[in-house]
Structure 1
Amino acid sequence: MAEVKYEIKENLGILSESAKGWTKELNLVSWNDYPAKYDIREWDPDHLKMGKGVTFSAEELKKLRDILNELDL
């Protein structure tokens, strides 16, 4: 399997932290030298290992925001 290249352009916030120090974060990440996208996933403390996550374009993130704003939380 080919190596995935990534660069965290901006850390936008930490959503949670596990007992082992992994953090679930919202970041702006460039994957394989493509333009950066918004990304939610878990990272180890050194940002060398990651869990599965999901990426969003700016438009998708705006739609997600709108959906979340409509929820009665």
Structure 2
Amino acid sequence: MADFQYEIVEELGVLSTSAKGWTKELNKVSWNGGAPKYDIRDWAPEHEKMGKGVTLNDEEFAALKELMSK
């Protein structure tokens, strides 16, 4: 697996917490030094490990918000 870097730029909120302490979170994350994107995924307690997730740019996140408000 290729190495990659990430930085959680802004922690927006926790959606749920599992029995093992992992949290499903909405954050703004910079991947490999790129512009921060909205990110929904599971994280280990200290953000040292992560699960698969969904990353959205600003336009996609705005469209999601609009869909959810209907």
User: Paired residue for 2:38?
Assistant: 38
Q: Distance in 1 between matches of 2:24 and 2:4?
A: 19
TM-score, normalised with respect to structure 2 = 0.97
TM-score, normalised with respect to structure 1 = 0.93
Q: Secondary structure at the match of 1:40?
A: strand
Count of aligned positions: 70
Instruction: Please report the RMSD computed on the Cα atoms of aligned residues, expressed in angstroms.
Output: 0.5
User: Paired residue for 1:67?
Assistant: 67
* 4+ residue runs over 3 A deviation: none
Tell me which structure has the larger Cα radius of gyration: 1
User: Is there any run of 5+ residues in structure 1 with no aligned partner, and where?
Assistant: none
**Residue 47 of structure 1: CA displacement?**
0.1
- Residues 34-58 of structure 1 show CA distances to partners (whole Å, capped at 9, x for unaligned) of 1110000000001010000000011
